[in-house]
């Protein structure tokens, strides 16, 4: 993904966003979490900007202040002040409030390094998303958010072997298509 030009990344993101906008899961979602794209990732921020115009509540991940390795999600609107966390990743100012637990989201747009057709995800290795959404694996009676990977088509690999702690994606959107996990 780093070998792609900035223009190619922008075009890929725009095409993937068009696919997501037509998806009923996105259309029904009221509370949507995304992330700020970096290091060649597809950037979902234009989608979050559109979502706020559609009166949807948007959230960005913030490092959980007490539970190491987990995320909370902070309300975000375009123009909000951001500050770098301990990894240098911009986060909304949590002092203004608007924090929400992962289980209260409807749709989560998830970054990834790689994925396969079964929607198994290779993350960055920190396990933040897997720990934050582990309840979806353990507590089947709780309604979990729809987990949507957001990736370049070139990030698709033939097969990934899921680990017991991996939280599966429900789908992955690329600039070419929407891959759905087979249940």
83-116 pLDDT, tens per residue?
998 888 899 987 767 889 899 999 999 999 999 9
Higher pLDDT, 142 or 179: 179
Of the candidate ranges 36-40, 116-120, 152-156, 167-171, the one whose mean pLDDT is the lowest: 36-40
What is the spatial distance between Cα 12 and Cα 9, in angstroms, rounded to a whole number? 5
**163 contacts 153 by C-beta, under 8 angstroms:** no
Q: What's the pLDDT score for residue 94?
A: 76
In angstroms, how far is the first alpha carbon of the chain from the final one?
Answer: 29
Q: What is the mean pLDDT of the chain?
A: 90
- CA gap 121, 157 in Å, rounded: 10
Give the model's pLDDT for residue 135: 82
Asked if pLDDT for residue 120 goes beyond 90, the answer is: yes
Question: How many Cα atoms occupy the beta-carbon half-sphere of 58 within 13 Å?
Answer: 24
Helix (H) or strand (E) holding 170: none
**What integer pLDDT is reported at residue 149 of this predicted model?**
97
For the residues 27-48, what does the mean pLDDT come to? 93
- pLDDT tops 90 at residue 68: no
Cβ-based neighbour number of residue 90 at 10 Å: 12
> What's the pLDDT score for residue 2?
67
Better-scored residue on pLDDT, 18 or 166: 18
State the pLDDT at residue 139. Answer: 58
Question: Around Cβ 120, how many Cβ atoms within 10 Å?
Answer: 21
Q: The pTM is what?
A: 0.92
C-alpha distances in Å from residue 124, one per residue of 74, 78, 108, 110, 127:
21, 26, 16, 11, 8
According to the model, what pLDDT value does residue 142 have? 64
**DSSP structure string for 16-67:** HHHHHHT-HHHHH-SEEE-----TT----HHHHHHHHHTT-EEEEEEE-SSS
The pLDDT value recorded for residue 53 is 98
pLDDT of residue 46: 97
Strands 31-33 and 57-63: parallel
């Amino acid at each position: 993904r780093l070998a792609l030009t900035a223009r190619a990344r922008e075009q890929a993101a725009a095409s993937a966003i068009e696919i997501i906008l037509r998806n009923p899961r996105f259309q029904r979602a009221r509370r949507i979490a995304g992330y700020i794209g970096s290091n060649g990732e597809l950037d979902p921020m234009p989608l979050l900007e559109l979502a706020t115009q559609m009166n949807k509540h948007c959230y960005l991940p913030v490092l959980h202040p007490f539970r190491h390795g987990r995320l909370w999600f902070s309300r975000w609107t375009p123009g909000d002040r951001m500050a770098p966390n301990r990894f240098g990743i911009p986060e909304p100012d949590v002092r203004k409030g608007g924090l929400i637990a992962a289980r209260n989201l409807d749709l989560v747009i998830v970054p990834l390094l790689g994925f396969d057709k079964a929607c198994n995800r290779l993350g960055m290795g920190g396990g933040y998303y897997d720990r934050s959404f582990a309840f979806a694996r353990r507590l089947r009676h709780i309604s979990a958010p729809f987990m949507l990977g957001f990736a370049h088509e070139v990030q698709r690999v033939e097969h990934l072997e899921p680990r017991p702690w991996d939280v599966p994606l429900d789908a992955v959107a690329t600039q070419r298509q929407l891959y759905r996990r087979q249940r």
